[in-house]
Copies of this chain bind each other. A is one copy, B any other.
């Protein structure tokens, strides 16, 4: 259910990000802003993961926020911003389908993590948290300048 809503959101979002709405330089700032906010959500989730506080409401709130910010980060990778200097490798645009799939997977894992946390499924939440970190790492390895 949640997954559907988010995918729809993303779909709608994608159709609105165009040169009319956002300059190439701005879309770099836009995705960087989203990633900065995402980093903080992870900084909150990390110690909760260490203390296994998976069913706290704050865990679900941060996981859900992470998922929604992921959708915003994704829409910042506009075609027009391809040649603007940033840490994003040109591979993002060369392997567009794979990149989009990875972003979508991140959005879904984190949305599912929020649901699992709300449902009190600690084991599932922990597994999804590990998948979240793995999702970040593998995408950075492929698509981000070190």
Taking beta carbons and an 8 Å cutoff, which residues of A are in contact with B? 8-9, 12-13, 15-16, 21-22, 26, 29-30, 32-34, 36-37, 40, 43-44, 57-58, 61, 65, 68, 72
What residues of B have a CB within 8 angstroms of the CB of A57 in the complex? Answer: 8, 12
Main secondary structure of the interface of A (DSSP, over half): helix
What residues of B have a CB within 8 angstroms of the CB of A15 in the complex? Answer: 58
Asked whether A44 and B30 contact (CB < 8 A) given A65-B68, A68-B68, the answer is: no
Q: How many monomers of this chain does the complex have?
A: 2
Question: Cα distance A37–B36 when bound, in Å?
Answer: 11
Closest B residue by C-beta to A33? B33
* Residue pair B72, A37 in contact (C-beta under 8 Å): yes
**Which residue from B8, B22, B29, B44 sits with its C-beta under 8 Å from A16?**
B44
